[in-house]
């Protein structure tokens, strides 16, 4: 097995092997524009590329000689992967590499990933603070459109029909104007709900790097010439994803977001996709007082399967500094949560 960096002329074969938008070549090029370092590694057997992944390295505040690695939605961890990560991490003087593997299973099943979790712990990994939520709803898009609509929660079906009756229109606009509309509504959403989002510059660079691909798609729900909701939908291979959404706090009675999700489902089928990943949910017994409960209930109405990922693990490469970083990071998040309340 030969392990080496992926060359620029291997972009196409690289994209054929990876399975998630955040592992695509195009996503890596976008992340470079945000100022982080990107590494792409391939595993070759008799000259043939068999596995590949990419990860980013981010400078540690006040410790400019050190970094933190982030490896989102990579393939199932194994010895070769972890060995390569340790070598790359050492070269970047990484305190740790945060891993969030693309390994999920039905949330109501007895945990089949205990063996993998133990494997990671035995290889210098520790459970880490998640960037992705542990759970998500995934909807099988292979049934007919009629079957999918029938499977919706009765209240969700009613809301979709109501939005159509009220005259809500769903428009796809991947242009710069479409992005600006999304950013305008995102600003309203974050100000209203008090949560943190990526900066406008982050989304502008994303759009600049993905606009000529099939990956990034922008959809608006429009009512009486006013855009009420705007979503960014990712498409890669035979799957679509709902990572970013924003909405206005007006005309809530026309149920624009319900129709928007339904039309994304219809669009996904038209694109010959077989799965919609809704990119986040609460667990099997959600707390109704949780700030995300409304999002969870909304997504549940489309009758997807609740899935649970293996979770987040930090591959620790510098144990002493990792412990110091963990303490500082906990204090930082306490301050951010306090600040968000006011």
What DSSP string describes 255-266?
A: -HHHHHHHHHHH
* Residue 332 reports pLDDT greater than 80: no
Q: Where are the domains of the chain?
A: 2-132+311-341, 136-308
pLDDT the model gives residue 335: 65
Considering the four listed CATH numbers 3.40.50.1110, 3.40.630.30, 2.60.120.620, 2.170.150.20, the one that applies to the domain covering 2-132+311-341 is 3.40.630.30
The CATH code for residues 136-308 is 3.40.630.30
- Give the pLDDT score at 183: 97
Phi and psi dihedrals of 311, rounded to 5? 110, -165
Give yes or no on whether 2-132+311-341 and 136-308 have one common fold.
yes
Please say whether the beta carbons of 219 and 175 come within 8 A.
Answer: no
Cα 26 vs. chain centroid, distance in angstroms?
A: 15
> Euclidean distance between the first and final Cα of the chain, in Å?
54
Q: Cβ distance 277 to 241 under 8 Å?
A: yes
The Cα-based distances of 114 to 95, 118, 197 in angstroms read 26, 6, 33
CB 100 within 8 A of CB 73: yes
The Cβ of residue 114 has, within 10 Å, a number of other Cβ atoms equal to 10
Greatest CA span in the chain, whole angstroms?
Answer: 61
In whole angstroms, what is the distance from residue 130 CA to residue 119 CA? 19
Q: With contact defined as beta carbons under 8 Å apart, do 41 and 5 qualify? A: yes
pLDDT higher than 70, residue 149:
yes
State the average pLDDT over residues 192-203.
85
pTM of the model: 0.94
Q: Is the pLDDT score of 342 beyond 60? A: no
Contact call for residues 234 and 27 (beta carbons, < 8 A): no
Give percent of the chain above pLDDT 90.
88
Residues 304 and 264: their CA atoms lie apart, in Å, by 14
pLDDT digits (tens, 9 = 90+) for 110-128: 777 888 999 999 999 999 9
Q: Quick: pLDDT tens for 32-73.
A: 999 999 999 999 999 999 999 999 999 998 777 999 999 999
| CA gap 208, 188 in Å, rounded | 23
Mean pLDDT of the chain: 94
* 274 touches 304 (CB < 8 A): no
Q: What average pLDDT does range 268-282 have in this prediction?
A: 97
39: helix, strand or coil = strand
Helical spans, DSSP H, in the chain: 11-17, 25-33, 79-91, 114-122, 145-151, 154-166, 176-193, 200-210, 256-270, 293-300, 319-341
């Amino acid at each position: 097995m030969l392990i080496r960096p992926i060359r620029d002329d291997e972009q196409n074969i690289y994209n054929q092997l990876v399975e998630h938008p955040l592992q695509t070549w195009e996503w890596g090029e976008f992340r470079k524009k945000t100022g982080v370092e990107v590494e792409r590694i391939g595993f070759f057997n008799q000259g043939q590329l068999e596995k590949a992944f990419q990860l980013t390295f981010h400078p540690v505040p006040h410790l400019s000689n050190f970094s933190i690695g982030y490896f989102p939605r990579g393939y199932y961890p194994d010895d070769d992967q972890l060995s390569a990560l340790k070598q790359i991490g050492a070269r970047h003087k990484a305190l740790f590499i945060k891993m969030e593997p693309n390994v999920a299973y039905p949330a109501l099943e007895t945990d089949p990933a205990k063996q993998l979790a133990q494997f990671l712990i035995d290889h210098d990994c520790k459970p880490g603070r998640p960037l992705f939520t542990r759970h998500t709803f995934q909807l099988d898009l292979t049934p007919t459109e009629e079957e999918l609509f029938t499977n919706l929660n009765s209240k969700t079906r009613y809301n979709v029909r109501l939005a159509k009756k009220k005259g809500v229109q769903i428009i796809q606009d991947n242009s710069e104007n479409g992005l600006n509309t999304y950013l305008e509504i995102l600003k309203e959403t974050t100000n209203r709900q008090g949560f943190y989002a990526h900066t406008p510059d982050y989304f502008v660079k994303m759009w600049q790097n993905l606009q000529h691909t099939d990956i990034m798609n922008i959809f608006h729900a429009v009512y009486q010439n006013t855009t009420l909701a705007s979503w960014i939908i990712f498409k890669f291979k035979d799957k679509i994803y709902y990572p970013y959404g924003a909405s206005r706090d007006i005309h809530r009675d026309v149920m624009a977001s319900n129709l928007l999700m339904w039309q994304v489902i219809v669009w996904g089928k038209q694109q010959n996709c077989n799965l919609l990943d809704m990119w986040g949910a609460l667990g099997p017994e959600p707390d109704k007082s949780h700030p995300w409960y409304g999002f969870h209930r909304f997504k549940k109405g489309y009758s997807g399967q609740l899935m649970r990922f293996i979770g987040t693990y930090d591959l620790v490469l510098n144990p002493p500094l990792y412990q110091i970083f963990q303490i500082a990071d906990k204090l930082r998040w306490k301050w951010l949560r306090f600040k968000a309340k006011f």
